[in-house]
Structure 1
Amino acid sequence: MRAFAFVLLTFLAVLPVTAADPDPDPPNLMHASSWGERGDVSSYLVSEKLDGVRGHWTGERLLTRGGHAVDPPEWFTAGWPSTPMDGELWLGRGRFAAVSGIVRTREPVDAEWREVRFMVFDLPAHEGPFEVRARRIRTLLDGAAVRWLQPVRQFPVANADALDQRLERIVDAGGEGLMLHRRDAHYRAGRSDTLLKYKTSADAEARVVAHTPGRGRYRGMLGALVVERPDGLRFRLGTGFSDAQRADPPPVGSRVTYRYNGFTVNGVPRFARFLRLRPRRRDSPKD
């Protein structure tokens, strides 16, 4: 018996140890900064900021911005160009949670993917300025003739007043905001000052550290989330929840996205309200 145990331990000792799969390397993408009256609006092409999941087509496969593989049905990417493309996996305005769930599902549901579009807004490998890249996107996708592979519409805006009017119309219609891309800008990976987002409010992430009980019609449900920013500041999110979310709130330890309008004199986000539960760290879907 002792001899058998010795042989068994020796055998186990020489077995290879398989390490957990490391996180993938994210693709080298360009990321937007915030618009802050950065010069002549007419120097930019403007598009709607789509509230979907950012995707990167390498020319062979589809990845999230974090580098994780997206697993659509095979037909979804059939006939796509071999050119690398940046885009947004999108269902429509106000449907981020639904498209995020579809994209993060390992076993794709064919009927769900039939509703998804890949909205292309840039060509990372193209060496020309954005105005040329935008024209190339339209030509490329016209040639592909895939119904769910579409260009994001880019349009000129004459001045700051016209930009604000366009933003107001988009937000009133349920959109998230606008993107401004300098016409003469080349694609450069990393945070860019030539790709800008313009919204009526700002979004940020925080970690849930506690729940407070509801009162009145919310008795027995969530009253507010106590959340903590990366710098340690804690505050409450008491609005923005559906009744279903109050009955089954984001758990302690999860990360949520909240929306706010500026800061108080003490640095606390003003009018902070819950927006969504962040997916677990397989993906970071939003730009």
Structure 2
Amino acid sequence: MLRLKPDPLLSPLVLCLLFFLSLPLFSSAMDLDPMLPEVYSEEREIRGWWMSEKLDGIRGYWDGTSMFSRNGTPLFPPDFFTAGLPPFAIEGELWAGRQAFEKTASIVMPEPPHG
């Protein structure tokens, strides 16, 4: 019997590809609650988890057509920023750099620019 040995790089790539291809199917069918920060406790088991430092930015939720803050306030990022975003829901931190919270806030201000 011939047994094929899987390529060790191919399996993770296929899984990643399948995961990202399935996102539009699931994200349009469910409402996403934004992830909120939690206080670290030394009793909590963290091995195997990925984490990052808290960035001083604005949490953005993209519903596929518009952007909102984590409490639902409409945000108005520039068109060039949203042009490459997918047609399904994603969330993440809008961040312009260290010590630049005000700059970030001024870019996505909670009301549309007046012209």
Which band: TM-score by shorter chain?
Answer: 0.5 to 0.7
In structure 2, the residue matched to 1:80 is 85
Residue 99 in structure 1 maps to residue 100 in structure 2:
no
> Tell me, what secondary structure is at the counterpart of 2:47?
helix
Of the candidates 37, 58, 67, which is equivalent to residue 32 of structure 1? Answer: 37
- Segments of structure 2 that go 5 or more residues without pairing to the other structure are 1-31
In structure 2, the residue matched to 1:158 is none
Q: Which amino acid aligns with 2:72?
A: G
In structure 1, the residue matched to 2:58 is 53
- Change in 2 beyond 3 A, CA 1:61/1:53: same
Q: Which amino acid aligns with 1:106?
A: P
Q: In the TM superposition, what whole-angstrom CA distance separates every residue of 1:243-275 from its partner, at most 9, and x where no partner exists?
A: xxxxxxxxxxxxxxxxxxxxxxxxxxxxxxxxx
In structure 1, the residue matched to 2:16 is none
> Tell me, what secondary structure is at the counterpart of 2:99?
coil
Looking at structure 2, the residues matched to 72 and 60 of structure 1 have their Cα atoms a distance apart, in angstroms, of: 12
- Change in 2 beyond 3 A, CA 1:66/1:40: closer
Q: In the TM superposition, what whole-angstrom CA distance separates every residue of 1:83-116 from its partner, at most 9, and x where no partner exists?
A: 31111111001111221222225218xxxxxxxx
TM-score computed with the length of structure 2 as normaliser = 0.61
Greater relative contact order (CA < 8 Å, ≥ 6 in sequence): 2
CA contact (8 A) 2:78 2:107 kept: no
TM-score computed with the length of structure 1 as normaliser = 0.26
In structure 2, the residue matched to 1:71 is 76
In structure 1, the residue matched to 2:20 is none
CA contact (8 A) 2:58 2:93 kept: yes
Q: Which amino acid aligns with 2:47?
A: S
**TM-aligned CA deviation for residue 58 of structure 1:** 0.8
> Tell me, what secondary structure is at the counterpart of 1:101?
helix
Amino-acid identity (%)? 37
CA contact (8 A) 2:64 2:89 kept: yes
> Tell me, what secondary structure is at the counterpart of 1:46?
coil
Looking at structure 1, the residues matched to 63 and 56 of structure 2 have their Cα atoms a distance apart, in angstroms, of: 22
Q: Which amino acid aligns with 1:46?
A: M
Q: Which amino acid aligns with 2:48?
A: S
Equivalent residues in 2 for 1:221-240, closer than 5 Å: none
How many residues are matched? 83
Equivalent residues in 2 for 1:1-287, closer than 5 Å: 28-104=33-109, 106-107=112-113
Q: In the TM superposition, what whole-angstrom CA distance separates every residue of 1:130-161 from its partner, at most 9, and x where no partner exists?
A: xxxxxxxxxxxxxxxxxxxxxxxxxxxxxxxx
> Tell me, what secondary structure is at the counterpart of 2:73?
coil
- Change in 2 beyond 3 A, CA 1:81/1:38: farther
**Which structure features the higher share of strand residues?**
1
**TM-aligned CA deviation for residue 74 of structure 1:** 2.1
**TM-aligned CA deviation for residue 31 of structure 1:** 1.4
| Structure of higher CA gyration radius | 1
